[in-house]
Homo-oligomer: A and B are copies of this chain.
């Protein structure tokens, strides 16, 4: 890349890889690096990131460490959950939904510090590079993007570590040997992929799981909980009101304890290949089912079925990195419009890896015992109407049958 870069904002975790990137950027582009470390509830201490960045010469005022947990859950996870989106029928999109927020904040910082470029540590084979960069370009169309993994020649672990040592970047012991898999984590989930997971026939080894107990080790007694919703979003657990992030954290702890939310998946990446991953989404799995539970009672059929038809597309957009696209926003407008009355309480049972809805109630319930009852409904529903309903629904099939059968 021949363009002159003056200042670049790097999505910086403080780990080995992004530390190497930090140095490599300084060296390759002879530019000032600004680091941005997001707290999305990934469960790592972020303080060391500051010291490390300073050590590599980043100016104190160029080190950004932001707690984005509430924003993450409130403005990204919850809106997505309103759609009941599942990528390829099963995956709760834990990594995908975090990337746009990081990209957005990174661009904000770039504007703040007058940077002309942004950079990230995602590899050239994955979806994350796409998600980051589509976010950058949508929000800052003329920003320069540096993706070191697609540019440099540090293509092996050995080369990377050699570079680190050569530049006095501390290499943690567990990074020296081959890590048996790689992970990404945030408040919604932890994903693991690579190496020991690469053969999709091999069972995921126990040591890969970090966010949930093995269901077999979970309590022998089920736990019953309630989740309250208002306008489509969770607001309380067991009757105790909570902020979005606290609510998700609370469900995470419950899910962890009961071994809930493990998923072994072979999925289709946007870049065209299949990959095998393991996901742990303890709280998200409970939340997803709870949301469906409250919708069952409060959402009209027309709205519900339209949502179900739109959800795969919506999930695909998020997976592919199109959060900041007009079509995602259009779908969101439709989905959000449906959630106004999605309020009430859902009861769920957690037990050894499974979560089931056992009851739901709402002041906005559309369920009418009077209409549906097997007992005498005192005229709430006239069964003879069904005859006409069926006859007219059948009419085209009868005309067809007369022609074809």
Contacts and interface: CB of A to CB of B under 8 A. Distances in A.
A28 interface: no
Nearest to A301: B268
A27 interface: no
B352 A274 contact: no
Contact of A381 (B134, B273, B329): B273
Number of copies: 4
B309 A296 contact: no
A308 B303 contact: no
22 contacts: A129-B390, A139-B401, A141-B398, A141-B399, A201-B359, A201-B360, A268-B301, A271-B386, A272-B301, A273-B371, A274-B367, A274-B372, A302-B327, A312-B312, A326-B337, A330-B334, A330-B338, A382-B388, A384-B388, A385-B391, A388-B392, A389-B389
Given A129-B390, A141-B398, A393-B130, A327 B351 contact: no
Contacts of A336: 333
A401 B352 CA distance: 42
Interface in A125-171: 125, 129-130, 133-134, 137-142, 147, 149-150, 155-156
A41 interface: no
Interface band, chain A? 35 or more
Given A312-B312, A334-B334, 8 more contacts: A133-B390, A200-B297, A264-B357, A273-B399, A307-B330, A326-B400, A353-B353, A388-B389
